[in-house]
Structure 1
Amino acid sequence: MKRNKQNPDFVHIGRKLLKWYDSNARALPWRNTKQPYNIWISEIILQQTQVKQGLNHYLNFVERFPDVQALAAAETDEVLLYWKGMGYYSRALNLHKAAKQVVEDFNGNFPEKYEDILKLKGIGKYTAAAISSICFDEKIPAVDGNFYRVVSRLFADDFDISQSSAFKYFSELSMMMMPENKPGDFNQAVMDLGSEICRPKKPDCGSCPLNENCIAFQSGTVHKFPVKLKRTKTTDLFLKYYFVHHKNQFLLKQRADDFIWKKLYEFPDEVPVEFEQFVENSTVVKHKLTHKNLTIQIETVNLTDEVDFISLAKRNHFNVVDFSESKKKSFPKPLENFIDKWIQRPTEIK
């Protein structure tokens, strides 16, 4: 059911939502400021991380990098280290690159306009809209999954959100509801409503401040929205590593800035043929990334004292670390789990 977007009464829904938000807004540290740097960091963290998991990460990150200048001046490895535990490390790399852009292209001043914010690395339409509306009162809806879900249910709108035109369609529809003042509060109200009440599964419609206006609720069709017809294909990927260790040290290398796991550390993916005699066992790990199913085989290579471990590393451009030093490196999650399990093994079987 498509709605007539010229209906001038839509804005009363936005006002009702703002009134609810005034009394029910979640108490979050980045809501105590309108500094664009803090809002930016929080929005990037929350892209793939729930609030309860991301809160401490946010606090630790902004304590170490309190402003864009501090972030721009940091080493990549340290930025990745402070991102550790949240995954999707490309977000941290893009933050670092964007911070350098702000310093170099905007004289260290975070851009205020939506179009300028969009120029920063890793910032898309949603994040640019969130920053510009919250920090600079630019009237623009921050359309994300919450918006799709809330708005499509409100109007029982069956517009397919997998279509490329969905962002523009729901942006226009949301704009009709957005009051002239407090655009940032409106966007955050939709975020809170979508996260806390209008959830993907088991929505709490009885507590929703808009249930009287919600066509899907009134017609008992909430479960049908939003409509998403196109499914993203997943691909299978096989990776093989060699965990080459000698006593309490092992070899690792840093990934390039392309494909998956950019700039993270990993084990060698090939070793000299003569190392086959030192292979102890093989471990297979399954891991899922967005749109990728990974099968990871890890061959454990236990080198003897006769092998010149350090020279081997230098010849093959590997790094040598001990287990305590490895905690200062950022690894893909399945490799980090492997290292943790190895550390916990009894000494006599290592």
Structure 2
Amino acid sequence: MKPKKQNADFLHVGEKLLAWYEISGRDLPFRKTKDPYKIWICEIIFQQTRIEQGLNHYKNFIKRFPDLETLANADTDEVLLYWKGLGYYSRALNLHKAAKQIIEDFNGKFPENYDDILKLKGVGKYTAAAISSICFNEKIPAVDGNFYRVLSRVFADDFDISNSKAFNYFSELALMMMPKNEAGHFNEAMMDLGSEICKPKNPKCEICPLNKNCIAFNTGNIQNFPVKSKKVKPTDLELTYYFVEFKDRFLIRQRNDGFIWKKLYEFPTEIPDEFENYITHQKTVNHKLTHKNLTIHFYKVSLNSKKGFEEFAVKNGFRISSQDDAALKSFPKSLENYLAENV
């Protein structure tokens, strides 16, 4: 579906955006490089993390894993450890798998076009477009929430952004604005405008470089754009964890690749009947994931038998951990908070 015609000079709007970006674009460390590996890492980190919150994580991750080969050869636990604090740990697992994929399928060289980059584990259309445009100047808009918001407001376009065709629709609209040979800078400019000025709430329209061209602003309709009809209702999920300890040791286990919190560590979720006399209820916490509302119950099980403690661990595949050992592992945030308060 093609965008409907607007009474605006699309290319002129794109040029105004680039002129603003040249003066006001954010000075970020990953903008000083065209290394696709580093751009890839930063794009994955900042998918779900604000720049100011994730910048140190980016620097530390790049310092420890400076290139594809180092990341591909690293242990999964260490990759997760360096992701600690960023959440959405599946991103780190996918980075690790994709690094191995590049070594195996692309002879260790980062792919240089959109279609090949899109084949990488965990890489979607937006990330592939960002990398291919910034590093290889491929003329593809990196359409994300910022693009939807800016374009729908500038052109007062009521195309529903939850529609499955929205990505292609707004890509066509962005291409009309994109100056020749400026794909990377255009995409970065849109990112900055959307995150710093054209915000979801309380946009700074008075200092926006496109305010004279923005139909929504000039008609007093900013609050009506973008249009989004669908909203996934989160489901409720209740979990129970038992913190089984003997003296200064406790039990943990790495989760598998199924369901939530892939490859993170957790406590036992079930205990034998003979442990019930040692249980005390600790706390109940609520935690929100993207499409789930979690209620998590924590119980402490303080055993007085080393034999029973060790037998339960061996039989059920648990690791006997110390505080220092646990500090080198990655846990879901709620379990990490529990450890900080109780160990």
The alpha carbon displacement at 1:8 in A equals 8.3
Question: In the aligned structure 2, how far is the partner of 1:36 from the partner of 1:127?
Answer: 11
Contact 1:244 1:301 in 2 (8 A): yes
Identical amino acids, percent of aligned pairs:
65
Question: In the aligned structure 2, how far is the partner of 1:4 from the partner of 1:63?
Answer: 47
Matched residue SS, 2:321: strand
Aligned to 2:273: 273
Question: In the aligned structure 1, how far is the partner of 2:309 from the partner of 2:183?
Answer: 60
Question: In the aligned structure 2, how far is the partner of 1:55 from the partner of 1:206?
Answer: 28
Question: In the aligned structure 2, how far is the partner of 1:69 from the partner of 1:324?
Answer: 28
Return the letter of the residue paired with 2:284.
Answer: V
Question: In the aligned structure 2, how far is the partner of 1:227 from the partner of 1:51?
Answer: 26
Give a deviation string over 1:225-267, Cα, whole Å, max 9, x none: 1011111121011111111011111001110011100000000
Aligned to 1:122: 122
The alpha carbon displacement at 1:317 in A equals 1.2
Matched residue SS, 2:9: helix
Matched residue SS, 1:174: helix
Which runs of structure 2 are paired with 1:169-318 in the superposition (5 Å)?
A: 169-305=169-305, 307-318=307-318
Contact 2:242 2:270 in 1 (8 A): yes
Aligned to 1:319: 319
Give a deviation string over 1:262-315, Cα, whole Å, max 9, x none: 000000111111000110224211100001000111111010146442333112
Return the letter of the residue paired with 1:264.
Answer: L
Q: How many correspondences in the alignment? A: 342
Aligned to 2:31: 31
Contact 1:69 1:108 in 2 (8 A): yes
Matched residue SS, 1:339: helix
Question: In the aligned structure 1, how far is the partner of 2:272 from the partner of 2:40?
Answer: 46
TM-score using structure 1 length: 0.95
Question: In the aligned structure 2, how far is the partner of 1:98 from the partner of 1:9?
Answer: 41
Contact 2:3 2:170 in 1 (8 A): no
Return the letter of the residue paired with 2:160.
Answer: D
**Root-mean-square deviation (Å):** 1.3
Return the letter of the residue paired with 1:199.
Answer: K
Question: Where do 5+ consecutive residues of structure 2 fail to align?
Answer: none
Question: In the aligned structure 1, how far is the partner of 2:18 from the partner of 2:281?
Answer: 60
2:58 pairs with 1:53 = no
Matched residue SS, 2:236: strand
Matched residue SS, 2:37: helix
Matched residue SS, 2:286: strand
Which runs of structure 2 are paired with 1:162-173 in the superposition (5 Å)?
A: 162-173=162-173
Return the letter of the residue paired with 2:270.
Answer: E
Between 1:17-26 and 1:281-290, the stretch displaced more is: 281-290
Question: Where do 5+ consecutive residues of structure 1 fail to align?
Answer: 344-350
Contact 2:246 2:306 in 1 (8 A): no
Return the letter of the residue paired with 1:269.
Answer: T
Contact 2:3 2:169 in 1 (8 A): no
Question: In the aligned structure 1, how far is the partner of 2:339 from the partner of 2:96?
Answer: 27
Return the letter of the residue paired with 2:259.
Answer: F
Between 1:314-323 and 1:77-86, the stretch displaced more is: 314-323
Matched residue SS, 1:4: coil
Give a deviation string over 1:147-195, Cα, whole Å, max 9, x none: 0000000001111101111111101111110111210000000000001
Contact 1:5 1:176 in 2 (8 A): no
